[in-house]
Amino acid sequence: MNNRQIAEIFESIADLSEMKGQQRYTIVAYQKVARTIGQWPVELEQMVHDKEDLKEIPGVGDAIAKKIEQLVTTGKMESYEKLRAEFPDGMLNVIRVPGVGPKTAKQLWDNLGVSTVEQLGEAARDGSLAAVPRMGEKKAGAIVRALESRRVSDGQAPIAVAMPAADRAVAALREICPSIRKLEIAGNLRRYEETTERIDLICVASDPSEVVEALTEMANVAEVVGGGGTRASVILSDGVQLDLRLVKDHQFGALFQYFTGNEQHNGLLREHAQNMGLSLSEYGITNTSTNESAQFEDEASLYERLGLQFIPPELREGNREVDAAKEGLIPRLVETGDLKGDLHVHTDWSDGVASMVEMVEAAQSKGYEYVAITDHSSGRGIANGLTEERLRQHGAMLGRIQENTPGITLLHGSEVDIRANGTIDYPDEVLQELDWVVASVHSAMDQDSTVMTERIVRAMRNPHVHAIGHLSTRLIGERKLISADFEAIFEAAAQTGTVLEINASPERLDLKDSHVSMARELGVVLAIDSDAHRVETLGNQRYGVGVARRGWCEPRHILNTLPLADFMSFLRMDKSERSVLVAAHV
């Protein structure tokens, strides 16, 4: 049972407890611990197995620790089973319908016997719901609409869709509306979460109605959901919802912070404020004894007033960032501008669409000092993978381009297949001629965990393999991660000196954020690679940087922040010593 599943059980316990009318703070305790567990980097199952103290987890005390141990060791939690037996199974789904919470669900069950989402829909339509105390026609209508819109989309847009859509909207509004002074993307998109429910924009403008109007009339708006005054909500043609809020200059800092979230981070910040005798809200900070209030034009001054280091959005997850900021321990995270090269790039020699010259020129114009051209190996027949003969021609061609392109160092590379048994589909004699070898899994992705782990570790032991590409092979929203013992893989990567790629393609983001954290802590050298197949996607590095930042990576954790000379000495090092150089580079 993984952490996500355990977290869901505690969420359910919170909901059921609320229906039962338990103490409010008991419920809050369960809700809090559910969120913490959902993001906890180490599997609780593993912790119990290793006899680690679960009470190290914030929000876990004696009672919850016992419940977790029982759940993990026996597969069942007695108190949860008992609680669940008190209500029909479908009730938990009823609670998940927007606008319906535990209290409403309980009341509808008591009064109407509603215990499933279907019955809820019926009761809302046939008028019986409206007759229940504290319910009414409008409430019924809202539930009907919620159920319908849920059918249309159970709406998580991948960042690959949402971020470009947000960028386009921002650019369009800025062009149409001269009165805009500030316009920023907020919400989880700003935190570079991999999927989002909607795009949040926060705007300061001298003429708010101009901006609201411009948004609702924008060409790619499919539907206007709400709006007027200082806010608007639309559905874009690609199905993503976009909410725009207009605020005053002096409100911007607190509101931008508030709407960036996440909820847990904001909660921690408010607790911290309270300990200082202050009350924080989306409108500013009030001194609870003097009643004096302060407002903020930007986020930095708000964090400063709270005695905290500025916390970059990517770290605002409600984990340890507020404590770290108190101590001044927020690191200087890696930035796009730190990248000195790209180590995973395709051309039309395999499945890319641009020529080698075009990709090299594009890399150079990004200011890179080096770039590895890594077309596919022969195993990728479908991707026009290179035979050994074509690989030699590929290298010769790159050499000729190098002669005419003195400003950037070109590395002859390859993205080689890791075969099902862990061997590489070029022989060692060929691999050792290459400057840079990225090995990736592209086939037999459904192997069981033990086989897959051994397969990848075997590839990492190959002395000519520099890096592993998109380790988990997932495609966000489409294909799951491989099953493997990732911790064992990270340990082997550190031990063998194999670089792990953070594939920046927004469809992949692989390693994902929590894996980046774990790998970094285990001393793995990471690289941020675009895996570009066309000129424009070289710019995808921003997504990889976002993931790296979510994993608390500094420049020193990322290989391709090294300047050319240091990078070349990294390549000359014995593989087993490679972890050292990047860690030492600050």
Residue 129: CB minimum distance to DNA, A: 9
CB closer to DNA out of 104 and 378:
104
CB closer to DNA out of 128 and 355:
128
Which amino acid does the sequence have at 338? Answer: D
Residue 216: CB minimum distance to DNA, A: 17
Tally of CB atoms within 10 A around 441: 24
Residue ranges with strand state E in 176-220: 180-185, 195-196, 198-205
Three-class SS state of 262: coil
Would you say 543 and 528 are in contact if contact means Cβ atoms under 8 Å apart? no
CB closer to DNA out of 18 and 375:
18
Residue 289: CB minimum distance to DNA, A: 11
Residue 13: CB minimum distance to DNA, A: 9
Residue 114: CB minimum distance to DNA, A: 12
- Residues found in the chain: 586
CB closer to DNA out of 216 and 496:
216
Three-class SS state of 426: coil
Q: How far is CA 224 from CA 142, 212, 241, 495, in A?
A: 17, 11, 10, 55
CB closer to DNA out of 256 and 259:
259
CB closer to DNA out of 31 and 503:
31
Would you say 481 and 473 are in contact if contact means Cβ atoms under 8 Å apart? yes
Burial grade of 429 (CB within 10 A; 0-12, 13-18, 19 or more)? exposed
Question: 341 pairs with which residues across the strands?
Answer: 370
Cα separation, 3 vs 273, whole angstroms = 30
Element (H, E) at 410: strand 409-417
CB closer to DNA out of 86 and 577:
86
Residue 212: CB minimum distance to DNA, A: 14
Binding site for DNA (CB under 7 A): 18, 23, 25-26, 28-30, 33, 55, 58-65, 97-105, 130, 133-142, 259, 263, 266-267, 270-271, 274-275, 279-283, 286
CA atoms within 13 A on the CB side of 121: 13
Residue 279: CB minimum distance to DNA, A: 4
Q: If you write DSSP's letter for every residue of 214-257 in order, what string do you get?
A: HHHT-TTEEEEEEEETTEEEEEETTS-EEEEEE--GGGHHHHHH
CB closer to DNA out of 27 and 532:
27
CB closer to DNA out of 56 and 89:
56
Residue ranges with strand state E in 482-565: 499-503, 526-529
Residue 122: CB minimum distance to DNA, A: 17
Residue 83 contacts by C-beta under 8 Å, 6 or more apart in sequence? 13, 16, 17, 20
Residue 12: CB minimum distance to DNA, A: 14
